[in-house]
Structure 1
């Protein structure tokens, strides 16, 4: 990569990416452009500007992408009721295609030759960033320092900073969390530390967004969610933007002990890893979306969506958001949401999101047909006999075959 003159780096302002700025400058003798995205991680992103300037960076991008993140990535994923391996709501996975998209766009705007990221060679994020970048700009060059350098510990990174006078304010008295954490508007994740032993229970003071179910209020909280084409557009009758919807549900869910998960997942690179996640708003969204679909989706359309969902989840988890197959699936999923309109009432109580009611002007539920009382001729129960016999025909024929030689 001797022809690298300018690189766009996904920059958090933390230790790793601050080292990467200087390492890129030293190793490739190139100009570095930094890109810092606010996707709801709960920390100020503006301080990254001063840190980048101190490292000699001239072009600095700091952007609030919270609305785009929820509107164009989280909401479309939840229309599919997406869950990876039965539990994971894909909070980290779904943020990566947006970051990859902006890295490529900024590379185009600044005439950069390459992009770079701080993902390690052991994780999924390297795959997600790079698959996204190659899908959007096939000729882009990617620099992944963790796959090239020998700075493989925090001590080595700190020594590098000291040798090169890199200004960092994270080596001070402030106590560092023992966990590797990643946060955005959808979730916060925890890995490493004592979590590397799958038998050890996560300590209570690790969790940041939610109270424990035991400490949650003794009285339930009821909320009413309004859906339009599969997306929540209002809470308790108040219209909200996508990001505000998720922020509000995170607060409500967290206060009621909702959204904690502790799981061992299969990474795309081949290893198993143990992680803990807090996804309070997403947990509520998943429950409520399935409830409104239960009223408004045709049976076979709903069942087909459930069959497609694991494939869709795998595509998101493995980094194929920008692939032709994910885009194709999304079109089918979005078409299915045309009549997913109405309201869902949810009871939040001690770690549980419980559906307490649902209604829709586009409902396929017909009380006159479904009733256990007198249906006044709306349904002829005698029709069921022929239906059953026709569906049993192949099984009866198959059973008789074995009796031919009796």
Structure 2
């Protein structure tokens, strides 16, 4: 009886050619596993294609709800953004996909997991970090680090030679990753940062020229840092994100073009469409400004950078991320309330908010008189606050003589 290999299968260019390549180079029973995190694919056709390409079995695992509730929402609560721009729609999905691959491997008694990540990308690290954390005995097969295929053009030629149907051509050769949180675009003409984004690139989002000419308001209600209502309607997290994708996409929200620093040491240009999560992140940040005290908010800002780094680098299954989640969850105990935003031509404009835990007190913050704040007290405060500056100035003046 043959040993089994679980192949992370999407039906895209890379995974489409991996099945025949493994059959040619290994004596293994190939089981395809497509983990549905909200990509816009016909899963029955993906399964059919996997079997037709040579897999003995195909798993189609729908984990959309788990993806949004346990991964996307954690990233939103953490305000995790990589290098000021990237909300990490691809990065945040990889640990869950890796987890499911390991679970399927255990179910099938498979000793191997294969993936289609290139040897230059981050995803190879993310998948293999998840596998190592969850079952270090599983061996990984990474064809892009072994075979003679050296480019996407070579991969297309190999697919045509084997009669494998693929979703790309040499004219439209973009590498894309899609889930309910975002869609990424890499490769082709956009590899060169001198090139503007092609007009036909976007899938989830309209261009600013084609976006609606009328502004639209959305209102989100959060409980403990998690959005639970959209425009007054209680919805599960995945439904909120899906609806915000539609609304945000119509207004050209959430396009980011970033020359990011990959984990493997090179810069790479990625263009990301993240309409719904961009709206969620914006609303969440506004509410934190209302509900968190200064020290907590500023310390959380520092930890948000570390959280984003952990997610981007694929080290989701580590003690530090769990510890950060515990801290973040504590900060979110008072992040409850509603936020209204105005969407227009790629812009998200704050339009009001309120919370029972609001730390803004109008009677104190306004220019009027207050029982809690006497403006005369500012004189002594400023004298003490400026004391180091005065001492430094006196010292400098004395040394100039």
TM over 0.5: yes
Q: TM-score, normalised by structure 2?
A: 0.94
Counterpart CA distance in 2 for 1:221 and 1:128 is 38
Determine the structure 2 residue equivalent to 1:388.
382
SS at 1:36's partner residue? strand
Determine the structure 1 residue equivalent to 2:34.
36
Counterpart CA distance in 1 for 2:133 and 2:2 is 20
User: Any unmatched runs of 5+ in structure 1?
Assistant: none
Deviates more, 1:40-49 or 1:140-149: 40-49
Task: Name which of 28, 44, 47 aligns with 2:45.
Answer: 47
Aligned partners of 1:15 and 1:168 also within 8 Å: no
Q: Give, in angstroms, the shift of residue 160 of structure 1.
A: 4.5
Task: Within 5 Å, give how 1:316-395 maps onto structure 2.
Answer: 316-375=311-370, 377-395=371-389
Deviates more, 1:335-344 or 1:35-44: 35-44
Task: Name which of 288, 291, 314 aligns with 1:293.
Answer: 288
Counterpart CA distance in 1 for 2:309 and 2:273 is 20
Counterpart CA distance in 1 for 2:373 and 2:95 is 50
Structure 1 residue 397 and structure 2 residue 391: aligned?
Answer: yes
Structure 1 residue 127 and structure 2 residue 125: aligned?
Answer: yes
Aligned partners of 2:153 and 2:170 also within 8 Å: no
Q: Give, in angstroms, the shift of residue 317 of structure 1.
A: 1.0
Q: Give, in angstroms, the shift of residue 68 of structure 1.
A: 0.8
Counterpart CA distance in 2 for 1:311 and 1:171 is 36
Task: Within 5 Å, give how 1:7-406 maps onto structure 2.
Answer: 7-154=5-152, 156-157=154-155, 160-161=158-159, 168-170=164-166, 177-375=172-370, 377-404=371-398, 406=401
Call closer, same or farther: CA 1:176–1:60 in 2, change over 3 Å: farther
Q: Give, in angstroms, the shift of residue 244 of structure 1.
A: 0.7
Q: Give, in angstroms, the shift of residue 176 of structure 1.
A: 6.7
Aligned partners of 1:4 and 1:114 also within 8 Å: no
Counterpart CA distance in 2 for 1:162 and 1:260 is 33
Q: Give, in angstroms, the shift of residue 385 of structure 1.
A: 2.5
Call closer, same or farther: CA 1:270–1:321 in 2, change over 3 Å: same
Call closer, same or farther: CA 1:227–1:162 in 2, change over 3 Å: closer
Counterpart CA distance in 2 for 1:197 and 1:175 is 16
User: Any unmatched runs of 5+ in structure 2?
Assistant: none
Task: Name which of 3, 6, 12 aligns with 1:5.
Answer: 3
Counterpart CA distance in 2 for 1:195 and 1:170 is 21
Counterpart CA distance in 1 for 2:170 and 2:216 is 35
Aligned partners of 1:51 and 1:167 also within 8 Å: no
Q: Give, in angstroms, the shift of residue 259 of structure 1.
A: 1.0
RMSD in angstroms over aligned alpha carbons? 2.1
Q: TM-score, normalised by structure 1?
A: 0.93
Q: Give, in angstroms, the shift of residue 159 of structure 1.
A: 5.4
Corresponding residue pairs, total: 400
Call closer, same or farther: CA 1:29–1:41 in 2, change over 3 Å: same
Q: Give, in angstroms, the shift of residue 394 of structure 1.
A: 3.1
Counterpart CA distance in 2 for 1:230 and 1:33 is 39
